[in-house]
A and B are shown apart, each in its own frame.
Chain A
Amino acid sequence: MRRIGVFVCHCGTNIAGTVDVKTVAETLGKEPAVVYATDYPYMCSEAGQNIIKDAIKEYKLEGVVVCSCSPRMHEATFRKAVSAAGLNPYLLEVANIREQCSWIHKDMEAGTAKAIVLGRAAIAKVQLNAPLIAGESPVVKRALVIGGGIAGIQTALDIADAGYPVDIVEKEPTIGGKMTQIDKTFPTLDCSSCILTPKMVECAQNENITIYSYSEVEAVTGFVGNFSVKIRRKARFVDENKCTGCGVCTEKCPVKNVPDEYNLGLSNRHAAYIPFAQAIPNVAVLDKNRCIKLTKGKCGLCSTVCSAGAIDYEQKETIVEEKYGAIVAATGYNPIKIDGYDEFAYSQSKDVVTSLEFERILKADGPTDGHLQRLSDGKQPKTIVFVQCVGSRESGSSHGCGKEYCSKICCMYTAKHAMLCREKYPDTDVYVFYIDVRTPGKNYDEFYRRAVEQYGVHYIKGMVGKVAPQADGSLMVQASDLISNEQLHVKADMVVLAAAIEPDKSARPLATMLTASMDTNDFFTEAHAKLRPVESPTAGVFLSGVCQGPKDIPETVAQAGAAASKVIGLLAKDKLSCNPCVAHSNEMMCNGCSSCANVCPYGAITYADKDFSRRQDGSMIRRVASVNEAVCQGCGACTVACPSGAMDLKGFSTSQIMAEVDAICK
């Protein structure tokens, strides 16, 4: 029997509040194997760790049990402490008596009893822990950034700056993302394009950056330090190397009625097009669903006018395969579809627009060349109503597309829109209907106050119930003023809806490929909400921008830099230590049946003929399984598939788990 030490943490009052830690330590101290048991307010503190280290030496401990918070929180901390005292770090078990005990049980008696049982299970398991040594695997010094919006661009630039090659995969024909569509940015009102396009150009010129535009990630295999990724490059029917971006093909193309994605369908483009003037790469694309040559085999006009000879109707999509040490998800967001919000007459009136559409109307390269106009009749609106929280902070599913969370950016961009309207067109009346105005951020509240005090925007606390298009082309807005408790009727010329934002649809299938976890809203989950906000729980996968949660541009850029620094930290290492909790096969018991290899998702199991000849039995050569420890990820599928019980998993062996079961059921 091993000599075990038990260390019970109070976690201040987090544990001690509902678990009698003294009793736990005393009771566990009486277990036959336990030679030392104590409790301490904060086991993870330096003083707490020293208690563990000293006890290991003084009592010659051969196994350590810490009863504390979740092992997902501090297992690594305690392993380091144990290792520093000369004990193998894997001779440690953590009993989770905080998240899975004290925090969920209000009854001291029940909580204490459960903590004791969890402690006993850990003691039973640690008796059977084997000292493990982590192997090493090499790191491919190249990073992949998925998504070429401001998040992806900033991450790629920062990684490239540190000297590592980085590839950007962008599904659209150009990088730039949503920020290209925005007119001005809060709280400084500087031009979005003026600060973004230089960064786009920098990406194109940086020799460490490769841009795969009009491309999507097709498959991801491998693991941290050594991912293997297939990138599908969609056919743009234009040779990227030959096209000069002169734009002649886009002017001559006879198909002129394709809704322009850049303008959110508020204007049309040709079937041959460059998304916008500053696109990177500045290369034309043929819309394969609308191009006459590609759909009907006729026309071919673009090819005759292209002096560079770049048009290639035969171009096929190709698959690029590349290896990466780290992957950054920067897939961004989209406004939700608000067709379900019939009360706002969005589908009935052209003058009811979303905020992003309004952004296009304000921007110089938009459908109205930057003039504030109604889309129905081109007249300048005299009264504009902004409606906040359309689909945000919606409990239940009254519309079927609402989100429970706050989209975070709408309060600020609406203040910006209101201000811009009043600045350019001082005779415009601007109303903003809101639930709350949320302006946490440097200089944000000042910005909002300016909209109210300096620009005279009418902020009214209350929600809009209905927008009714009138015969004269105006829009009757019915709303309640919650402060004066009155029903209001505002005759507006234009209504702008602050639609909630949601993660891009490509994020969910990507998360499946990366085996990265997501929350119920399809935002990527971070490894720790507070302490590891830019890392996914899946090692080697990092998060940048809105794919992790709603954020504005400054926050996105900050997070993009943080993700880049984590990637650089990873790529700077030559080798990573592997997870030593991997499968291994007992050759004496293995009969070479291949059951384990059939269920292994990594192909980590191979077979070899091995000589088991003994003098008295004569020649005996058997086929046995062996596990490639660098490839095995330690899921344990093989251990259950093995009919002879030859496969086992280090760290989670059959006997260890059985011992836990026994201790719990005692």
Chain B
Amino acid sequence: MQVNNEFRPKIVAFCCNWCSYAGADLAGTNRANYPADVKIIRVPCSCRVNPMFILRAFQRGADGVILCGCHPGDCHYTTGNYYARRRMTMLFSMLSYLGIEKGRTRVEWVSAAEGAKFAATMNEFVETITALGENKRLEDLRCKK
């Protein structure tokens, strides 16, 4: 396999406002490093993430998408992360049917106190995506002008 050292993956991370986004902030406060390839989008709750957003990210050339929410039972809105979990299970199985490797998508629970876990998760995810290489399967070339 040809390894391209120049390859830097594009990674979109959806983080819920109450737990994971705060966890990401804590990672920053603790200066817990992870690669700059991860770009975070803040959503009120993991259940706000429409499967469409993830498809859109892949269509626009993202190499990996991760969704982070509160731990089961700890959702600020009581049940949001359960909805997210079910929706993503459905979406990911369909993505795998389309030939998108399983490692490119992920759901992770990160609490507001888990800055170290957030950084560790991102490091690991970037590593996985870098190993998988560029994602072209869903990319819409019309978007590349």
User: A residues touching B (Cβ–Cβ < 8 Å)?
Assistant: 70-72, 96, 98-101, 103-107, 110-111, 113-114, 117-118, 121, 511-512, 515, 517-520, 525, 537-538, 581, 599, 601, 633-637, 639-641, 649, 652, 654, 657-658, 660-662, 664-666
Contacts and interface: CB of A to CB of B under 8 A. Distances in A.
A538 B45 contact: no
B19 A517 contact: yes
Contacts of B103: none
A121 B33 contact: no
B31 interface: yes
A512 B45 contact: no
B26 to A, nearest CB: 8
B36 A113 contact: yes
Contacts of B56: 658, 661-662
Contact of A640 (B35, B48, B57): B48
B95 interface: no
B24 A657 contact: no
A100 B43 contact: no
Central interface residue in A100, A118, A537, A633, by most chain B CB within 10 Å: A100
Nearest to B55: A661
Contacts of A118: 39
Given A518-B113, A601-B78, A661-B56, A635 B48 contact: yes
Given A104-B27, A104-B28, A662 B60 contact: yes
Given A100-B40, A661-B62, 20 more contacts: A96-B40, A100-B24, A101-B28, A104-B31, A110-B35, A117-B39, A512-B74, A515-B78, A517-B111, A517-B113, A525-B112, A599-B79, A635-B77, A637-B80, A639-B50, A652-B44, A660-B41, A661-B53, A661-B57, A664-B41
B46 to A, nearest CB: 9
A148 to B, nearest CB: 26
Contacts of A107: 36
A101 B45 CA distance: 22
A649 B77 CA distance: 15
14 contacts: A99-B26, A105-B33, A515-B76, A515-B78, A517-B19, A520-B113, A538-B76, A636-B43, A636-B80, A637-B77, A652-B44, A661-B57, A661-B60, A666-B60
A107 B18 CA distance: 29
Given A525-B113, A636-B45, A665 B10 contact: yes
Contacts of A538: 76
B31 A639 contact: no
A635 B60 contact: no
Contacts of A511: 74
A660 B32 CA distance: 25
A512 B36 contact: no
